[in-house]
Structure 1
Amino acid sequence: MSEPADFVTRLRAERQDPGREEALRLDKARRRRKAVLIGCAGALVLTGFGVWLASVTGDRPANEPYAPQALQEDMWPDEWPATVRLPFRGSPAAAWEDGAAGVVAPKAEAAGDHSVTEVAAALRHSREFLLESNVTPEPLAGGRPSAAMDLLDPRDPGTAALEAALQHPDEKHSPLDVFTRFDPDEEAVVKGAVKSRGTMTYEVAPSGELLVHADYTFVYAVTKNHGGWEIVPGAPEAARVIVRREVTLTPSHGRLALRGSERLVVNADCGAPEDGYVHPLYHAAAAKAPKGTSLDPYAKGKAIDDIPTGCVTATRT
């Protein structure tokens, strides 16, 4: 794949070639005979000089964007990589709520021996925990999720286990089971580029505990801090990572205790060492990555436990 900046430079040089008109006429006739790129050329006509562009560039790789003067980014095919300018272009998440707005607690009602006030507090704290675990900028940037940890009962064994995972992550004890974190030395979440959607419910267990169940999907657009691919000049690539979480929480001594947590992380390098960070797959790496079970991370209906374990290959991001 050629460098996009070189490609744009070549386009400009070819446009200024005095013999361009005759070359275009001959090339256009040849292309008509071969019936190649008819659909692409037709779409590019909308740009004002799409015929010229289709004639001089030859067959381009399907994932190589044209010059920004030729085609606006919101018109690019979905298979082309996204950039920081439109990080959710072509993604179902584009229609989702931004960050915290997509995490909504249900109306609180009395449940079992638990009053409306108790239920409302549990729902409020559970929502705060989800946001501090998956939306707050500091943890996303690899920092300690202090506010989320402060919402957990320090006397609960699960809290101690989670603290140990934060301090010393390994394959059996990962903070990613609960928190979404990216390596600040490698990438950053594009400003404002977190989408969310899901449900929150509650019930009383046979033991009498009030259980809050959350099933939420968060979609992040991230970009490399250094050495990222500029799709076109000034527009670095943005990779989308989808994180689905099923979390069960219960009130405990005025705080919360974890009763269960499942995760599904899609479009991340599942072969990366367990260091407590999500490692996104950018376009070139995703194309070369080993193929796992195909999965539509936006499909509804299946619990995370019902999805095959191991690496998965996203059908869309």
Structure 2
Amino acid sequence: MGAGTEPEGSSMSDEEWERFLRESMAGTADAPKEPSARARDVAKRLRTQPGRDPEGWRSYTPTRPKRRRGWYVVGLLAALVLLAVALAPGRMVDLVTGDDSDSTPLASETARPTQAPPTGSAQRPTEKEPFRGSPAARWANGAAGITVPKAKAVGWMSEAEVERALARSRDFLVSSGLDREVLRGERPEKAMALINPHQKDVQVFLKTAFRTPSEKNDPLYLFSRFQPSRTQLVGDIVKTRGRLTYREGERGALQVTADVTFVYPTTRADAGGDDEIVRTVVRRELVLSWDDPDKVITEPGTFSIVSHKYDMTNGGCGAPTGYFTPPYGTDRRADEADKEIDPYDRSAPIARDKTSGGECKKATRS
């Protein structure tokens, strides 16, 4: 407070203040006393907040206890989770492990993976969810799972011609491994029409394989077929994962390599609603040559087969019949496999050439 100024918060008039100063200096006994700081503060609050009672100097107002709403919310959520687990335990496990068919799909495969997919839950497949408990649950459906690279000019082909050749290479994979009529045992006419009719060894293989299947000449090396009187597919979806790559081959040809895994959920042809579901898993590696017609005898829009490799599990281990024969029930014990493999592991190429006859393999998971 500066000298000669009204003290902050005082309610005294100028005349009373001057009188107070005179009487204080004169030592008058009944001189008015200067209000205390607390009194001035109370007076100021009364002027600025009329209608409210002043808070007591040493008064105490207890704080309201906080409502513990957070704990109630947590408890409610926990109860809901327990209820969901009790009603649908398998569904909840799928959601946690990522094996649920509605979980986020994997990105397209553009290069060879470095390791096998992780092991998920041991949930059994069902008619509504035939890929449940399998890495294939997150794979794409049908042709969408086959990655086609961007086209560039190679050898004798322009960029546009390479693009068409890649599309037809993919068409062959679709016609040979996804066509519903072929899967039901029909001859793969559309797929065979894309093979160079002047490639004599392959044409002999095709004629022999469908007439008298054997370990050396088995149509399953190139085509997926099930005998409808014995086996039926579950649902309309086949899961796939794989890719096409290409480079320049011999005589300036466009050489396309396909590496694709197909997963077929199957059950007995006479199955009821709750019958066993077995997934037949097939992986094929094909090398196709789109030859320069000026250097190789060929037909427009066709390719020659350079090589083909094939791995299969849960497709039967008996004598070749030209059809996959998934084992059900006691048939599983009768199928004696030569060795075990993980059919979903795409981190390494197929080990051997199946044209010389194949060995039966048991799946470590399906």
- CA distance in 1 between partners of 2:144 and 2:123 (Å): 29
Q: Does the Cα contact within 8 Å between 1:249 and 1:260 map onto a contact in 2?
A: yes
Match status 1:275 vs 2:321: yes
Q: Secondary structure at the match of 1:94?
A: helix
Displacement after TM superposition at 1:267 (Å): 1.8
Q: Which amino acid aligns with 1:250?
A: S
Match status 1:257 vs 2:304: yes
Residues 45 and 192 of structure 1: is their aligned pair in 2 closer, same or farther, counting only changes over 3 Å?
closer
Q: Which amino acid aligns with 1:312?
A: K
Residues 45 and 104 of structure 1: is their aligned pair in 2 closer, same or farther, counting only changes over 3 Å?
closer
Q: Which amino acid aligns with 1:301?
A: S
- CA distance in 2 between partners of 1:203 and 1:257 (Å): 15
Displacement after TM superposition at 1:184 (Å): 1.0
Q: Does the Cα contact within 8 Å between 1:114 and 1:210 map onto a contact in 2?
A: yes
User: Which moved further from structure 2: 305-314 or 176-185?
Assistant: 305-314
Q: Secondary structure at the match of 2:284?
A: strand
Q: Does the Cα contact within 8 Å between 2:280 and 2:315 map onto a contact in 1?
A: yes
Instruction: Indicate the percent of aligned positions where both proteins have the same amino acid.
Output: 36
2:224 corresponds to which residue?
A: 180
- CA distance in 2 between partners of 1:104 and 1:300 (Å): 14
2:198 corresponds to which residue?
A: 155
Higher Rg? 2
Q: Does the Cα contact within 8 Å between 1:122 and 1:250 map onto a contact in 2?
A: no
- CA distance in 1 between partners of 2:353 and 2:299 (Å): 35
- CA distance in 1 between partners of 2:315 and 2:91 (Å): 25
2:187 corresponds to which residue?
A: 144
2:49 corresponds to which residue?
A: none
- CA distance in 2 between partners of 1:80 and 1:292 (Å): 26
Q: Does the Cα contact within 8 Å between 2:243 and 2:260 map onto a contact in 1?
A: yes
1:127 corresponds to which residue?
A: 170
Q: Secondary structure at the match of 2:332?
A: helix
Displacement after TM superposition at 1:209 (Å): 1.8
- CA distance in 2 between partners of 1:187 and 1:303 (Å): 29
Under a length normalisation based on structure 2, what TM-score does the superposition of the two structures give?
A: 0.62
Q: Does the Cα contact within 8 Å between 1:81 and 1:237 map onto a contact in 2?
A: no
- CA distance in 2 between partners of 1:237 and 1:118 (Å): 46
Q: Extract unaligned runs of 5+ from structure 1.
A: 1-42, 49-69
Q: Does the Cα contact within 8 Å between 2:310 and 2:353 map onto a contact in 1?
A: no
Q: Does the Cα contact within 8 Å between 1:142 and 1:183 map onto a contact in 2?
A: yes
Q: Secondary structure at the match of 1:301?
A: coil
Displacement after TM superposition at 1:148 (Å): 0.5
Q: Does the Cα contact within 8 Å between 1:169 and 1:275 map onto a contact in 2?
A: yes
Q: Does the Cα contact within 8 Å between 2:265 and 2:279 map onto a contact in 1?
A: yes
Displacement after TM superposition at 1:307 (Å): 9.7
- CA distance in 2 between partners of 1:145 and 1:223 (Å): 22
User: Which moved further from structure 2: 158-167 or 139-148?
Assistant: 158-167
1:315 corresponds to which residue?
A: 364
Q: Secondary structure at the match of 1:304?
A: coil
1:85 corresponds to which residue?
A: 128
1:21 corresponds to which residue?
A: none
- CA distance in 1 between partners of 2:330 and 2:84 (Å): 29
Displacement after TM superposition at 1:193 (Å): 2.8
Match status 1:200 vs 2:247: no
Q: Which amino acid aligns with 1:242?
A: V
Displacement after TM superposition at 1:306 (Å): 5.4
Displacement after TM superposition at 1:172 (Å): 1.5
User: Which moved further from structure 2: 246-255 or 73-82?
Assistant: 73-82
Q: Secondary structure at the match of 2:251?
A: coil
**Structure with greater proportional strand content:** 1
1:1-46: CA deviation from partner (whole Å, max 9, x where unpaired): xxxxxxxxxxxxxxxxxxxxxxxxxxxxxxxxxxxxxxxxxx9993
- CA distance in 2 between partners of 1:287 and 1:143 (Å): 29
2:138 corresponds to which residue?
A: 95
Q: Does the Cα contact within 8 Å between 2:309 and 2:352 map onto a contact in 1?
A: no
Under a length normalisation based on structure 1, what TM-score does the superposition of the two structures give?
A: 0.71
Q: Does the Cα contact within 8 Å between 2:85 and 2:92 map onto a contact in 1?
A: no
Alignment RMSD (CA, Å):
2.6
Q: Does the Cα contact within 8 Å between 1:84 and 1:223 map onto a contact in 2?
A: no
Give the alignment of 1:1-317 within 5 angstroms.
Answer: 46-47=85-86, 78-79=121-122, 81-157=124-200, 158-226=202-270, 228=271, 234-251=273-290, 252-254=298-300, 255-270=302-317, 272-282=318-328, 284-286=330-332, 289-305=335-351, 310-317=359-366
Q: Secondary structure at the match of 2:170?
A: helix
Q: Extract unaligned runs of 5+ from structure 2.
A: 1-81, 95-119, 291-297
Q: Secondary structure at the match of 1:193?
A: coil
Q: Which amino acid aligns with 2:166?
A: L
1:241-270: CA deviation from partner (whole Å, max 9, x where unpaired): 110000111224211221111110012221
Residues 148 and 126 of structure 1: is their aligned pair in 2 closer, same or farther, counting only changes over 3 Å?
same
Displacement after TM superposition at 1:130 (Å): 0.4
- CA distance in 2 between partners of 1:285 and 1:44 (Å): 39
Q: Which amino acid aligns with 1:265?
A: M
Displacement after TM superposition at 1:283 (Å): 5.2
Q: Secondary structure at the match of 1:278?
A: coil
- CA distance in 2 between partners of 1:142 and 1:208 (Å): 37
